[in-house]
Amino acid sequence: MKTIQTTCPYCGTGCNLDLHVENNRITGATPVKNHPVNDGELCLKGLYGWEFVHSSARLTKPLIRKKDGVFSKEGVLEESTWEEALDLMAEKINHVKKSYGPDAFMGLSSARCTNEENYIFQKFFRQVLGTNNVDHCARL
Ligand code: SF4
């Protein structure tokens, strides 16, 4: 069994824990003792909330709602490639920006992202989309 120290991703507190891994599967978690954030404690999410990692219900490929092979709001979700999904997103974002201006967008980031991910998120909204309409779920 391997033990891997990591930071709990459930909230912004930043508790540290040891994940116990056997045959490439997480079998449990224990809190890191003497850590400055959680000092040997974890809440229920950090202690037991790891089954999702190996869930067969997790999305592993992008899905696009399609009808007759093309995007349609009335279509059904179909697996696609990342290239196709990103091209569609870029096309829709450009269309909205051109038609309604940058302030047509609003971004709400997540406490479950890292600081770096949140930084990139707000940078994308401000620099690429051109709007300051960006916030974080912790302020809701
Ligand atoms: S263990 Fe609980 S309090 Fe600590 S980071 Fe995870 S979710 Fe937050």
From residue 91, give the alpha-carbon distance in Å to each of 8, 22, 87, 102: 35, 43, 6, 15
Q: How far apart are CA 25 and CA 18, in angstroms?
A: 13
CA-derived radius of gyration, the chain: 20
Atom of ligand 1 nearest to the CA of 11: 8
Q: Average model confidence (pLDDT) for the chain?
A: 94
Two structure tokens written together for 67? 């009808």
pTM of the prediction? 0.72
| Tens-digit pLDDT profile for residues 46-99 | 999 998 899 999 999 999 999 999 999 999 999 999 999 999 999 999 999 999
Q: Ligand 1 in contact with 6 (CB < 6 A)?
A: no
| Tens-digit pLDDT profile for residues 35-47 | 999 999 999 999 9
The predicted pLDDT at position 139 comes to 73
Segments in 1-140 forming alpha helices (H): 44-48, 82-100, 115-123
Atom of ligand 1 nearest to the CA of 31: 1
* CA 16 to ligand 1 centroid distance, Å: 9
Two structure tokens written together for 126? 């401000």
Atom of ligand 1 nearest to the CA of 7: 5
Domains located in the chain, CATH noted: 2-54 (2.20.25.90), 59-100 (no CATH), 102-140 (no CATH)
Q: Ligand 1 in contact with 94 (CB < 6 A)?
A: no
